[in-house]
Amino acid sequence: MFDRRLITHFDWFLLLMVLLVAIAGVVNIYSATHSWGNAVPFYQRQICWVGAGLVIALLCCLFDYRWLRRWAWPLYCGAVLLLAGVFVFGKVAMGARRWIHLGFFNLQPSEIVKIVIIVILARYFSKRSAERECTLADMLISGILLAIPCGLILKQPDLGTSMLVLAIGMSMVLFNPIRWQVLALMGIGGAVTMCVGWSFLHDYQKSRIHTFLNPESDPLRSGYHIIQSKIAVGDGGFWGRGFLQGSQAQLSFLPERHTDFAFSVFAEEWGFIGSAALLLAYLLIVLWGIFIAYRAPDLFGRYLAIGVTAMLFWHITINLGMVIGLLPVVGVPLPLFSYGGTSMITTMVGVGLLLNVSMRRFIF
């Protein structure tokens, strides 16, 4: 029978904060694209994606999240097969093979992996004692679980998503007590991997890193995005130029202004005050996710909440660092805010899992 306590313990605060950010994103997308004259305006499509994502998030609340523990391995194997299938059935767009065309929409398996890697690592670490320190064997097993999908995503090529999946996994690993010797070996291994991995990067990926270090070296080509983005953010000042009044967006100086650089449009129009309010909303969502993990009734729920929170945190951190020139441009959208159906659905699935864990906090 349906337990009434599920409704009583529904996390309205998290849902409210998520909807506030999503609504702000729709308004911002309208400002960035209203002059484009598309048959179906981008902001209307985003409203549909927000609505679909909300339905999916609520559907994720209907089942007990512990059910995912039994399906973790099938989900992981299925996600890896989808990633491999991209190289056989995938369509090429903008020089990358990342999507599988399914007729009515394009499926991006790398987005699914973000959720699946959280589930599989939550299952793996929840089988251990919470007090037992992670050994080198634990690190190797979790590293293999991460390396397989990350390698396939990097091959597409998609450096940004590969970095995100790795960051999510490492955040879940570091949530465990770890011996300092193992932590030191992880640091050495990470440094070696970065040095070796540089030779496997594509030329345009290396160019992005060079541009990050010195964007003024090529202001009209590789450095154009980041220079225009920083101009837009700085142009907002304290109060902002006003809704629909941002020169960088309205005069089309800022590229990708409805997706990767959506925050730049918002910062120019709403200034420091508006940007601080948006960042506060994101901070509350992340802190609330940690709070949900803290009061989760079991280890699996705790790791699940930590994984989803890490996914949101790293999306926010990488995108904001990217648009203000603190990180290289790697094509990572701002969750709930940038235009994009796949990103919105993935984020809402994560939100649904957080709601699920929060609702069942009374179960022992």
What is the helix (H) or strand (E) element at residue 91, kind and residue range? strand 90-93
Please state, in angstroms and rounded to a whole number, the distance separating the CA atoms of residues 253 and 197: 34
Please state, in angstroms and rounded to a whole number, the distance separating the CA atoms of residues 312 and 356: 16
Residue 44 lies in a domain: yes
Q: Is 86 within 8 Å of 99 (Cβ atoms)?
A: yes
User: What are 185-202's pLDDT values in tens digits?
Assistant: 777 877 777 776 666 666
Please state, in angstroms and rounded to a whole number, the distance separating the CA atoms of residues 165 and 314: 9
User: What are 59-113's pLDDT values in tens digits?
Assistant: 998 888 999 999 999 999 999 999 998 888 877 766 677 888 776 667 788 889 9
What burial class does residue 6 get, using C-beta atoms within 10 Å of its C-beta: 0-12 exposed, 13-18 middle, 19+ buried? middle
Q: In what order do the strands lie in the sheet with 96-101?
A: 90-93, 96-101, 106-107
* Of 363, 361, 360, 347, residue with least CA distance to 54: 347
Q: What is the pLDDT of residue 328?
A: 81
* Of 342, 352, 355, 331, residue with least CA distance to 112: 342
Please state, in angstroms and rounded to a whole number, the distance separating the CA atoms of residues 331 and 158: 9
Please state, in angstroms and rounded to a whole number, the distance separating the CA atoms of residues 79 and 111: 10
Residue 229 lies in a domain: yes
Residue 135 lies in a domain: yes
User: What are 284-309's pLDDT values in tens digits?
Assistant: 999 999 999 999 989 999 999 999 99
Tens of each residue's pLDDT in the chain, 364 residues: 456 667 778 899 999 999 999 999 999 999 988 877 665 788 999 999 999 999 999 999 888 899 999 999 999 999 999 999 888 887 776 667 788 877 666 778 888 999 999 999 999 998 875 556 777 788 888 889 999 999 899 888 788 888 899 999 989 988 887 777 777 777 787 777 777 666 666 666 666 666 656 655 555 566 777 888 888 888 888 998 988 888 887 777 788 888 889 999 999 999 999 999 999 999 999 999 999 999 998 999 999 999 999 999 999 999 999 888 888 887 789 999 999 888 899 999 999 999 999 998 876 5
Q: What is the pLDDT of residue 56?
A: 95
State the total domains in the chain: 1
Q: What is the pLDDT of residue 1?
A: 43
Residue 364 lies in a domain: no
Asked if residue 219 has a cis previous peptide bond (ω within 30° of 0), the answer is no
Q: What is the pLDDT of residue 338?
A: 93
Q: What is the pLDDT of residue 132?
A: 67
The parent domain of residue 112 ranges over 5-359
Q: What is the pLDDT of residue 204?
A: 63
Residue 243 DSSP SS3: coil
Sole residue written with tokens 């890490």:
310
